[in-house]
Amino acid sequence: MSNDFAVLGMREHDRPISAPMRAALEQFVDEGVVLVVSSFGRGGGGLGAIVTEGIDVLDRISTKGIDCDGQMVVRAIDSVGGVRSGPKWGEIALYDGEGLVRLERIDGVGDLHDVLIDGDSVVFVSSASEQVIRYRGDGLRSSLEVIHETGSGTDMVHFNCLSRGDRPLAVSAFARDASRSWRAEQDLGRTDRGVVIDLDSGEPIVEGLSQPHSPRRWRDCWVLADAGNGCITIVGDGGLRRSIDCGGFARGLHVHGDLAWVGVAPERMSMNVTVDPSGGATFPSSMPLLSRVLLIDLVEGLVIGEIGIPFVEVYDLLPVPSGLVAGLGAGASASALRLLERAAIERLWPDRTDPVAVEPIDDNDRDVGIEILHQGPMRAGSTTTIEVKVTNRGGFTLASVGSNRVLVGWWWGQSGEAGRGACGLVAPIGPGETVTILCPVDVPDRAGIQRLGLGVIQEGVGPFGGSTACAVSIETADVDD
């Protein structure tokens, strides 16, 4: 968990851009489109427009897949608990040039990854239920049709990304065999089980990949973000393949002519840490590494441009007509939901005219008391909800809204080397008030006694004083589960 999340891009839009990248972005301008990048998870995520001046952050709504058919934009929202997806429900949002058209909660499936507009329907991937589902939302009742699944009902092979506008319609996965978890495969050193699956036949199109994402067609080839190998891989229909190194976790890919725009996320364990002298709990001592977007010449196999983006985790890249980008920026500004949000923020901060941004809290007021109410045994490899009591000992109201959200962070081990994450506050916490939060925590796979730490941070600002830690007994998972 970081004490400095990536929000600098909302204040500093300028980024150095190479001549080839500037020329490619100017070509988008000539075509009337803007390259949009999506982000999720650590740092809160959101959407950003990559333009010739740098990055324009459109919003901070954690998002995975995005797609556009020229008339509408659809996004897979990743926002349960502030920065985490829910395993039993998901949300997709649709926009036109005026703003938000429809927000759909989809019950029974969750951890939505990719999303695709396919004619009069939307196809999306649920990693939690391991299904590819077709959604139709005409009228008051939406309908769901499962078009592909493993039958495991859980994240065993990790479906993630759909091919975009190509046939056959395909999905990438970390493994094909649902009899063993992809995490267990990785623990055994098997990092070449990734596949791209034809959704019509259920058969693999490309195999021998490591954590693949974003299958795209280019000429007579498949181009993929071969994330586990830190590269993009190009596979011809005859089986010949070559790779282009990206220098990080490649995720998110758009092919435009003979050029590829590729998102590259940092390694998740690459952050330095420092020890809190008051209680031994640890926080990373500096802002986590941010993602980048590369421009690659597919013919020459060379990286010809790079731009840093103000997000920690990158997921997708997509050219969107400029009018629809304006709709994404407007969001729900004309809806009752946004009006209620504005009213709530103005009640908490009556001196503000901006309905979104919340100022950083001074060091002296970043002071909380935090207590873990649930410390019982946890099952290895599970997601367990723990009760956390947070008391605001400062002079400012704490809330998970705006560009400097306040979050509860958790980490395993001294520095989070066994896992880390965060959840949002369920309600504003005024000075002197206490709120109990149900915080989902991903339990490490290794059984035994492990150290669980909790603390409160403000994105882009820093940690609060008053973090805590406890020893937790982690029990071996039941092999029949």
Higher pLDDT, 186 or 305: 305
Picking from 465, 372, 367, 364, the residue whose alpha carbon sits closest to that of residue 410 is 372
Mean pLDDT confidence for 311-320: 93
What is the b/e burial string over 80-98, where b = at least 16 CB atoms within 10 angstroms of the residue's CB?
bbbbbbbbebbbbbbbbbe
Q: Tokens 């959200």 — which residue?
A: 405
Main-chain dihedrals φ then ψ at residue 199, nearest 5 degrees: -75, -20
**pLDDT beyond 50 at 285:** no
* Residue 332 Rama label (left phi>0; alpha psi -120 to 50; beta): alpha
Higher pLDDT, 185 or 230: 230
Mean pLDDT confidence for 356-361: 67
**pLDDT beyond 80 at 80:** no
If you count them, how many residues does the chain have?
A: 481
Cis peptide before 168 (omega within 30 of 0): yes
**pLDDT beyond 50 at 235:** yes
Domains of the chain: 8-334 (2.120.10.30), 363-475 (2.60.40.10)
Q: What is the pLDDT of residue 210?
A: 94
**pLDDT beyond 50 at 286:** no
| pTM (2 d.p.) | 0.68
Main-chain dihedrals φ then ψ at residue 429, nearest 5 degrees: -115, 110
Main-chain dihedrals φ then ψ at residue 181, nearest 5 degrees: -60, 145
Asked whether 430 and 397 are in contact (CB, 8 A), the reply is yes
Model confidence at 12, pLDDT cuts 50, 70, 90, reads very low
Work out whether strand 204-209 and strand 194-198 pair parallel, antiparallel, or are unpaired: antiparallel
Q: For the chain, give the mean pLDDT.
A: 82
Higher pLDDT, 462 or 274: 462
Higher pLDDT, 230 or 377: 230
| Pairwise CA distance, residues 285 & 270, whole Å | 12
Q: What is the pLDDT of residue 354?
A: 47
Model confidence at 283, pLDDT cuts 50, 70, 90, reads very low
| Other residues' Cβ atoms within 10 Å of the Cβ of residue 465 | 17
**pLDDT beyond 70 at 32:** yes
**pLDDT beyond 70 at 85:** no
Amino acid at 261: W
Higher pLDDT, 29 or 335: 29
Higher pLDDT, 323 or 400: 323
**pLDDT beyond 50 at 479:** no
**pLDDT beyond 90 at 70:** yes
Asked whether 409 and 440 are in contact (CB, 8 A), the reply is no
| Pairwise CA distance, residues 413 & 281, whole Å | 9
Q: What is the pLDDT of residue 23?
A: 95
Q: Half-sphere exposure (CA, 13 Å, Cβ side) for 13?
A: 12
Higher pLDDT, 481 or 203: 203
CA angle 445, 448, 452 (to 5 degrees): 75
Highest mean pLDDT among 78-82, 165-169, 464-468: 464-468
Picking from 93, 108, 126, 69, the residue whose alpha carbon sits closest to that of residue 338 is 93
Model confidence at 42, pLDDT cuts 50, 70, 90, reads low
3 state DSSP class of 317: strand
**pLDDT beyond 80 at 20:** yes
Model confidence at 281, pLDDT cuts 50, 70, 90, reads very low
Amino acid at 206: V
Asked whether 342 and 353 are in contact (CB, 8 A), the reply is no
